[in-house]
Structure 1
Amino acid sequence: MADEEQQVSIKVWDGPVRVVHWAMVLLFVVQVVSGKMGGDMMPLHVFSGYAMIVLVVFRLIWGFVGSTHARFASFIAGPAATLRFARRLFSRQAVPQVGHNPLGGWSVIAMLLSLALQVASGLFANDGAAVEGPLASLVSFEVSTVLSEFHRWNLKLLLVLSAIHVGAVFFHLFVKRDNVLGAMFTGVRRVPPSVVRERRVALRDSPRRRAASREAESAYFPGPWRGVWVLAVTLALVYLLVR
């Protein structure tokens, strides 16, 4: 990473992405603690689960209609590109990214998918006592029990994914000198000027060189009302689902 005076500030993460990210972190902690304690904590577990559904659905929708770097299309790379980036990650050839790098992009997808499966299974699960999900009555007790077991198993997967995510953040912070953590608070990243250039189109028969970042020089950020109506749609969908 270039020296601080050679870097430029660029807005990357919009408000909805940052708010949803930290709200998910908080709710995940609440979910884990309340689920482990059980008993009188189960109502909190249930209602925080509803809130997590809202966040997951919102983020999935925002991945298609949000700002440039929030959209899945901006950070989902193919297997070959992901493998190339992984090979360069521990060398000076690694190309800095304004948004998610290929590995980080797939990490986001894995986390969202696992969270979606967790909240979905929770809707049909039971705790073996007095608490069950709002949709548990729609399936047999055997199916509800299977989904309850999946709910517990998937939590372990979520904890592993979370540990990998946190480890990657600290790796970038202390090894790559890339403060991705601060950017998730401020929405702004400090990057070398070359990172925000568009990728140059090279001739097919030209020698392979270190590719510039594929990030565009400017990014699109929708107005606040788009976030409001996406939240309204999300709340309506979740209400209809769990009422």
Structure 2
Amino acid sequence: MRFVIVGEALVDVVPDGSGTRDLPGGSPANVAVTLGRLGHRPTLVTSLADDARGSLVRGWLAASGVEVRAAVPATGRTSTAAVVLGADGGATYEFDVAWDLPAALLADATGDADVVHAGSIATVLAPGADVVEAALRAARGSALVSFDPNARPAITPDVDEARARVERLVGYADVVKVSEEDLGWYYPGTDPVDAARTWATSGPAVVVVTLGGDGAVVVRGTPWCVSRA
């Protein structure tokens, strides 16, 4: 089975006792690494510069058997997420992310995929988000499409615009995984399971809502039902 993951690979700049340290990451890249460690040979389509941080990320991916197909960002820098710790120990992020993929690169990678997964910043940040959306739309029906709409208000402060795009992508997906926090940002004041039920009527076979330490809720598509895990 051929897995193609689409999305950002970046460096988390994490404070330590004497300054900061660089750790490779990115939600879609983490998915690719996990698949690789499970014995698959996934392909990650992403954006990486030819710099020290890009080399760090490439080495991390290669160590888990991930094939990388990358475009060089217009900034010439590998994307970063600087971790800022608050007084309560909670973390926020300051992003330096450029996301622009050539349509031909993505089409070539996804054309014969069995599973296509996309999520997080790559699905909402222009101009690359348009290319990702077109690829998921094209993959619908020929591959299993998985989508993780990881909300990033710092990247997309216009919630109405972000929600509209996410709802289109949900309609192309077969499987959606979303946290209750994400749904709380997209639909403030709405019960997250109710929001998932609405999503489940628009195309996906399964919507999984994660609830942190309280487990998860699985909502299946029409006729939908709810299961708690």
Per the TM superposition, whether the score is higher than 0.5 is no
Q: Which has the higher strand share?
A: 2
Q: Which has the higher helix share?
A: 1
Of the two, which has the highest radius of gyration?
Answer: 1
Higher relative contact order (CA 8 A, sep 6+): 1
TM-score by length of 1: 0.22
TM-score by length of 2: 0.23
